[in-house]
Amino acid sequence: MSDERFQVFDSLQRHNTRLRDSTRLGNGVGLASWYNEQDLIDLENADHHTLSLYIADGYQSYFKSTDGWHNGGGPDRLCLMPRQYASTWNIRGPLSFVHLYFTDAHLRQLAEQTWDRSPLELSVNEQLFADDPQIALLYRHFLLTSNWHDRSDSLTLSSASNLLLNHVLKHYTQVSWQAPAIKGGLAPAQVRHIRDYIDSHLDQPLQLADLAALCQLSEYHFARMFKQSIGLPPHRYVQQQRLAKAQQLLRYSTVSLLQVALRCGFSSAAHFSNRFRQQTGISPSQYRSQWQQGH
């Protein structure tokens, strides 16, 4: 996972666990997709928190407690393991799961930015085989449908991780603050600035933190004020603009599909083609051909 290390990640690699994919989101946040079966795992002394969601199977995953082994796993079950947390797991059958790693420093920073005050203490509450439909939805609708290595999906990933960590703060820590009230959207000058910035940087990965910083707002406040002003969440708006630029290039230029993809922020022609087809129902080459035939 690049140069940012997470102890749980490193520990799993020393066991039978098979790494399917991983990425680093920055600011002390990382993602990893795993598969395992028939394994005994000891986890301890991590200096970060881990939010784990079971994606498939997991019915034979056992956790060792003081009174023996317990299970309760299955698709969409979650485990939240705070930093410095020690646990032993017996995986007796197939299990696919995705980990979100995040540091205590980042969680505290997020709390301070969102509520504009600092918690005296911030402790994450352990959860084992819990059911949280909101977390499952964010994983499946955003994290699992994104290409973790394509720059066009970086804003979706950073937005989803921000939503997940705000959910953890509100529901799985001792912080009982209510969600901050958002009154009104962005100022017209901010809207123009953000639109211009996005349009001139569509060929680059865009992060929620970077866009929020342009307006000197927290990610929480920016995302909600942006939606009030534009009518779409930031990641949806950027996706819309990427595809609009792609359609323009397909209509009025002869550049290759790869060049269209790169100019619109996609890392590969294949990923661009898949996203284009999802939105329009046809491939980029079909779109270009139909336009040329009609004009």
Number of structural domains in the chain: 2
Asked if 114 and 189 sit in the same domain, the reply is: no
Asked if 112 and 190 sit in the same domain, the reply is: no
pLDDT, tens digit, 9 for 90 and up, residues 105-161: 999 999 999 887 788 788 999 999 999 999 999 999 999 999 999 999 999 999 999
The answer as to whether 61 is a domain residue is yes
Is residue 22 within 8 Å of residue 9, measured between CB atoms?
yes
In this prediction, residue 3 carries a pLDDT of 53
Asked if 66 and 202 sit in the same domain, the reply is: no
Asked if 114 and 190 sit in the same domain, the reply is: no
The answer as to whether 110 is a domain residue is yes
In this prediction, residue 117 carries a pLDDT of 78
The answer as to whether 175 is a domain residue is no
The torsion angles phi and psi of 168, rounded to 5 degrees, stand at -60, -45
Asked if 138 and 279 sit in the same domain, the reply is: no
Domain that holds residue 224: 181-295
Is residue 25 within 8 Å of residue 17, measured between CB atoms?
no
Single-letter code of the amino acid located at 1: M
Asked if 156 and 187 sit in the same domain, the reply is: no
How far, in Å, are 1, 30, 38, 42, 131 from residue 7 at the CA level?
Answer: 11, 12, 21, 12, 25
Q: Return the CATH number at 188.
A: 1.10.10.60
The answer as to whether 2 is a domain residue is no
Q: Among 55-64, 108-117, 218-227, where is mean pLDDT lowest?
A: 108-117
Coil, helix or strand at residue 66: coil
pTM for this entry:
0.91
Asked if 150 and 281 sit in the same domain, the reply is: no
| DSSP assigned state of 141 | I
Q: Which residues 6+ apart lie within 8 Å of 164 measured at CB? A: 51, 100, 135, 138, 139
Beta strands in the chain (DSSP E): 18-26, 29-36, 39-43, 48-57, 61-65, 68-71, 77-81, 87-91, 95-103, 127-131
pLDDT, tens digit, 9 for 90 and up, residues 150-201: 999 999 999 999 999 999 999 999 887 777 788 899 999 999 999 999 999 9
Asked if 129 and 30 sit in the same domain, the reply is: yes
